[in-house]
């Protein structure tokens, strides 16, 4: 049995056509169900639904054989038992620095001011500002980062920006790109060896459907 770990939300709708192109169809729509385990049209393939940030944990620890996760999540996870064979080129967005309109980010960078940074992506933010020689105080949040500058919890945030609507709705502006984000196929290294006959053709089909 091959188990595929997916998460609902941002990436999910773009994932289904890729699975379909590989001949895999879910027995029901996970987006309209509270179930966490789903059969597929293939008797030896099942899909599990986990939180986006938990996908690499399930794959590395063998709870799933393969999974799909954003580069944002994978960069924070930094696992060693995972093989990253394919950029699926879906879930495209940017990781950005953003702040209130009246915050002078350029001046802060130029004068190497110490900054309070609220983010879910503490590794990415640390690395980004360390390279610039900027000292930061990290405030780890798990969501709704946009609130932090509004209530004075932080000077700036590091968050994903797709349409830009969430920033705009909260009177924030993007000021610098940290990285480009897409979603990747990830595979448990041991499973790739053990289930090579099933996984290798599946990965090949996924790669053929990537634009
Ligand atoms: C992300 C991100 C922003 C929003 C940006 O949140 O954290 O809040 O999307 O999208 P936009 O630029 O199209 O408005 P997501 O919905 O992935 O969930 P999260 O709050 O759990 O991070």
Per-residue pLDDT of the chain (211 residues), as tens digits, is 999 999 998 788 999 999 999 999 999 999 899 999 999 999 999 999 999 999 999 999 999 999 999 999 999 998 888 999 899 999 999 999 999 999 999 999 999 999 999 999 999 999 999 999 999 999 999 999 999 999 999 999 999 999 999 999 999 999 999 999 999 999 999 999 999 999 999 999 999 988 6
Distance (Å, rounded) from C-alpha 69 to C-alpha 197? 23
Domain extent listing, the chain: 2-91+182-210, 93-181
The helix or strand, by DSSP H or E, that contains position 135, with its residue range, turns out to be: none
Out of 3.40.190.10, 3.40.50.970, 3.40.50.720, 3.10.129.10, the CATH code matching 2-91+182-210 is 3.40.190.10
Q: Which atom of ligand 1 is nearest to the CA of 10?
A: 17
Class of domain 93-181: alpha beta
Using a 6 Å cutoff on CB, does residue 133 contact ligand 1?
Answer: no
Q: Which of 123, 6, 128, 118 has its CA nearest to residue 70? A: 6
Pocket probe for ligand 1: among 54, 124, 166, 170, the residue whose CB has the most ligand atoms within 8 Å is 166
* Contact predicate 5/67, CB 8 Å: yes
Q: Which atom of ligand 1 is nearest to the CA of 164?
A: 12
Using a 6 Å cutoff on CB, does residue 143 contact ligand 1?
Answer: yes
Using a 6 Å cutoff on CB, does residue 27 contact ligand 1?
Answer: no
């Amino acid at each position: 049995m091959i188990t595929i770990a997916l998460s609902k939300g941002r990436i999910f709708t773009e994932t289904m056509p890729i699975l379909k192109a590989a001949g895999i169809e879910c027995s029901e729509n996970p987006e309209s169900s509270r179930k966490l385990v789903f059969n597929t049209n293939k008797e030896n393939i099942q899909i599990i639904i986990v939180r986006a940030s938990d996908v690499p944990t399930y794959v590395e620890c063998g709870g799933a054989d393969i999974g799909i996760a954003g580069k944002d999540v994978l960069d924070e996870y930094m696992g060693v038992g995972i093989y990253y064979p394919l950029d699926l080129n879906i879930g495209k967005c940017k990781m950005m620095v953003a702040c209130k309109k009246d915050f002078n980010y350029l001046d802060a960078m130029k004068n190497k001011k110490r900054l309070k940074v609220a983010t879910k992506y503490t590794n990415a933010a640390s690395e980004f500002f360390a390279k610039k020689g900027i000292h930061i105080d990290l405030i780890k949040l798990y969501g709704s980062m946009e609130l932090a500058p509004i209530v004075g919890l932080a000077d700036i945030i590091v968050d994903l920006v797709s349409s830009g609507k969430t920033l705009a709705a909260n009177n924030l502006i993007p000021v610098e790109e940290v990285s480009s984000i897409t979603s990747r196929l990830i595979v448990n290294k041991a499973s790739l060896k053990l289930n090579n006959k099933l996984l290798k053709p599946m990965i090949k089909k996924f790669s053929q459907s990537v634009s």
